[in-house]
Structure 1
Amino acid sequence: MDSIRSSQITKAIQRISESVFVGLCREVGTPQMVAVKRDVMDISEMVGNHVKTSDEILEMVSGSYREGIKLKGSDIDTMYWLNNQRVIWDLSQSQYYNTHRKTLILCDCSESPPGFTLLYLLSPIKYILIQRVCVRMYNRYYVSSSKCRQASLSQSSSHYNLTPHGPCVSGTFGPLELDFAFCFVCDFWPPSASSWIDRCHSWPQPHVVDEIVKNGCHFVAMGHKLGNHEDHEWRISFSQAEEKLVYVMNHCQFLTYGLLKLILTEIINNGVGDDDKLLCSYHMKTAAFWVIQQNTISHWCPQNLLEGFWVCFKLILKWVYEGACPNFFIPGNNMFLSKIRGVKQHQLFIRLYELYEKGIAFLLYSPYIRSCIIDVLYNPRTSVCTDDHTLISEVEFDRDLFVEIQGHYAPPLKLGKQRCIRYLHTIAQMIGSLLLTHYQVLKLQNITAVVLQYTAFVLHMETCTSDNKLSYRANKMSCHMVKLAAKFGCITDILYIAMYYYKTLRYREALSIIEMMKFKLAQPYVMHGLNVDTEMYNEAVGGQSWSTKMRQAVAGIVKLNNDIHYISELIPEQQSALKNHWSLLHVPPFILLYMLEIFCYRQVDTIRAQSALDNLQTLVHYDQGQIITLLSRDISWQILGICQQLTGNLQAALYSYQQSLRQESFNRIQTATEMRIQSLPMDSLN
Structure 2
Amino acid sequence: MCLKIGTPQQVAFRREIEDIIEILDNNVVFDKHSTVMLSGSEREGFRLSGSDVDHMHWPINHRVVWDFSQCRFYNTQEHALILCDNSESPPGFTLLWLPLEKANDLVMSACVLMNGCFYVSSSKYREAMCSFIITGSTIHGPCSSGRRDNGFEYDHAHCFASDFWPPSAYSWIDRCHSWPPSNVVNDIISNGCHVVAIGHKIGNHTDNEWRISFSRAEYKLVYSMNHTQFLTYGLLKLFLKEIINTGLRDEEKILCSYFMKTAVFWAIQQNATLHWHPDNLVAGFWVCFKLLLKWVYEGVCPNFFIPENNMFLSSIYGEAQTTLFMRLYTFYEKGIAILLYSPSIMSNIIDVLCNPRLSICTDEHSLISQVEFDKDYFGEMVRNDTIGKPDIQRCKQYLHTVEQLINVPLTEYQIVVLQKLTATIFRYTAILHNMYIDTGFNKQFYIVDKIACRLLKLATKFGFVSDMLYIAMYYHNTFRYMEALSVIDITKAKLAQPYLMYGSHVDQEMYNEAVRGQFLSTKMKEAVAQNITLDNAVFYINDLIPEQQTSRLQGRNFLFIPPFVLLYMLDFLCSRNVDTMRAQGALDDLHALVHHDQGELIPVSLRDISWEILGICQQITGNLHAALYSYQHSLIQHPCHKIQTATRQRIQNLHL
TM norm structure 1:
0.92
State the match for 1:98 in structure 2.
Answer: 75
Aligned residue pairs: how many? 655
Which of 233, 246, 249 in structure 1 is aligned with 2:222? 246
Residue 369 (structure 1) aligned with residue 345 (structure 2):
yes
Where do 1:22-41 residues align within 5 Å?
A: 24-41=1-18
State the match for 1:513 in structure 2.
Answer: 487
State the match for 2:423 in structure 1.
Answer: 449
* Cα deviations by residue, 1:548-585 (Å, 9 ceiling, x for unpaired): 11111000111122222222222222222332333222
- Measured after TM superposition, the shift of residue 227 of structure 1 is 0.7
Return closer, same or farther for 1:458/1:542 CA change in 2, 3 Å cut-off: same
* Cα deviations by residue, 1:354-375 (Å, 9 ceiling, x for unpaired): 2212222222222232222334
* Cα deviations by residue, 1:243-271 (Å, 9 ceiling, x for unpaired): 00000100000000011111111111111
State the match for 2:96 in structure 1.
Answer: 119
- Measured after TM superposition, the shift of residue 382 of structure 1 is 5.6
Preserved contact between residue 117 and residue 233 of structure 1 (Cα < 8 Å) = yes
Residue 340 (structure 1) aligned with residue 316 (structure 2):
yes
Moved more, 139-148 or 185-194: 139-148
Residue 109 (structure 1) aligned with residue 86 (structure 2):
yes
State the match for 2:111 in structure 1.
Answer: 134
State the match for 2:650 in structure 1.
Answer: 676
Moved more, 259-268 or 417-426: 417-426
Preserved contact between residue 54 and residue 84 of structure 1 (Cα < 8 Å) = no
Residue 475 (structure 1) aligned with residue 449 (structure 2):
yes
State the match for 1:572 in structure 2.
Answer: 546
Preserved contact between residue 439 and residue 445 of structure 2 (Cα < 8 Å) = yes
- The gaps in structure 1 that reach 5 residues or longer are 1-23
Which of 302, 306, 315 in structure 2 is aligned with 1:330? 306
For 1:90 and 1:656, locate their aligned partners in 2 and report how far apart those are by CA, in whole Å: 66
For 1:571 and 1:437, locate their aligned partners in 2 and report how far apart those are by CA, in whole Å: 40
Which of 627, 638, 641 in structure 2 is aligned with 1:667? 641
- Measured after TM superposition, the shift of residue 591 of structure 1 is 1.1
Letter of the structure 1 residue corresponding to residue 515 of structure 2: V
- Measured after TM superposition, the shift of residue 54 of structure 1 is 8.1
Residue 540 (structure 1) aligned with residue 507 (structure 2):
no
Letter of the structure 2 residue corresponding to residue 32 of structure 1: Q
Letter of the structure 2 residue corresponding to residue 429 of structure 1: Q
State the match for 2:36 in structure 1.
Answer: 59
State the match for 2:365 in structure 1.
Answer: 389
- Measured after TM superposition, the shift of residue 379 of structure 1 is 6.2
Moved more, 33-42 or 357-366: 357-366
Letter of the structure 1 residue corresponding to residue 88 of structure 2: E
State the match for 2:406 in structure 1.
Answer: 431
For 2:52 and 2:275, locate their aligned partners in 1 and report how far apart those are by CA, in whole Å: 31
State the match for 2:135 in structure 1.
Answer: 159
- Measured after TM superposition, the shift of residue 91 of structure 1 is 2.7
For 2:534 and 2:377, locate their aligned partners in 1 and report how far apart those are by CA, in whole Å: 22
For 1:673 and 1:129, locate their aligned partners in 2 and report how far apart those are by CA, in whole Å: 40
Which of 85, 110, 122 in structure 1 is aligned with 2:62? 85
What is the root-mean-square deviation in Å for CA atoms of aligned residues?
2.0
Moved more, 331-340 or 622-631: 622-631
Letter of the structure 1 residue corresponding to residue 123 of structure 2: S
Moved more, 75-84 or 475-484: 75-84
Preserved contact between residue 45 and residue 60 of structure 1 (Cα < 8 Å) = yes
Preserved contact between residue 279 and residue 360 of structure 2 (Cα < 8 Å) = no
Residue 219 (structure 1) aligned with residue 195 (structure 2):
yes
For 1:568 and 1:552, locate their aligned partners in 2 and report how far apart those are by CA, in whole Å: 30
Give the secondary structure class of the aligned counterpart of 1:111: coil
Preserved contact between residue 300 and residue 310 of structure 2 (Cα < 8 Å) = yes
* Cα deviations by residue, 1:470-504 (Å, 9 ceiling, x for unpaired): 22111111101100110011101111111111122
Return closer, same or farther for 1:677/1:49 CA change in 2, 3 Å cut-off: farther
Return closer, same or farther for 1:270/1:494 CA change in 2, 3 Å cut-off: same
For 2:400 and 2:88, locate their aligned partners in 1 and report how far apart those are by CA, in whole Å: 47
Preserved contact between residue 103 and residue 125 of structure 1 (Cα < 8 Å) = yes
Letter of the structure 1 residue corresponding to residue 50 of structure 2: G
State the match for 1:622 in structure 2.
Answer: 596
Letter of the structure 1 residue corresponding to residue 154 of structure 2: L
For 1:675 and 1:126, locate their aligned partners in 2 and report how far apart those are by CA, in whole Å: 48
Moved more, 519-528 or 291-300: 291-300
Return closer, same or farther for 1:108/1:380 CA change in 2, 3 Å cut-off: closer
For 2:629 and 2:156, locate their aligned partners in 1 and report how far apart those are by CA, in whole Å: 38
For 1:54 and 1:179, locate their aligned partners in 2 and report how far apart those are by CA, in whole Å: 17
Residue 287 (structure 1) aligned with residue 263 (structure 2):
yes
State the match for 1:525 in structure 2.
Answer: 499
Return closer, same or farther for 1:49/1:468 CA change in 2, 3 Å cut-off: same
Residue 595 (structure 1) aligned with residue 569 (structure 2):
yes
Preserved contact between residue 63 and residue 76 of structure 1 (Cα < 8 Å) = yes
Give the secondary structure class of the aligned counterpart of 2:568: helix
- Measured after TM superposition, the shift of residue 671 of structure 1 is 3.4
TM norm structure 2:
0.96
Preserved contact between residue 607 and residue 637 of structure 2 (Cα < 8 Å) = yes
For 2:96 and 2:103, locate their aligned partners in 1 and report how far apart those are by CA, in whole Å: 16
Preserved contact between residue 54 and residue 83 of structure 1 (Cα < 8 Å) = no
Give the secondary structure class of the aligned counterpart of 2:633: helix
Which of 491, 504, 526 in structure 1 is aligned with 2:478? 504
Moved more, 266-275 or 24-33: 266-275
* Cα deviations by residue, 1:326-359 (Å, 9 ceiling, x for unpaired): 1001111100011111111111111111221222
- Measured after TM superposition, the shift of residue 595 of structure 1 is 1.2
Letter of the structure 2 residue corresponding to residue 459 of structure 1: H
Give the secondary structure class of the aligned counterpart of 2:306: coil
For 1:297 and 1:512, locate their aligned partners in 2 and report how far apart those are by CA, in whole Å: 66
Q: RCO greater where, 1 or 2, for CA within 8 Å and sep 6 or more?
A: 1
Letter of the structure 2 residue corresponding to residue 546 of structure 1: L
* Cα deviations by residue, 1:504-530 (Å, 9 ceiling, x for unpaired): 211100000001111100110000111
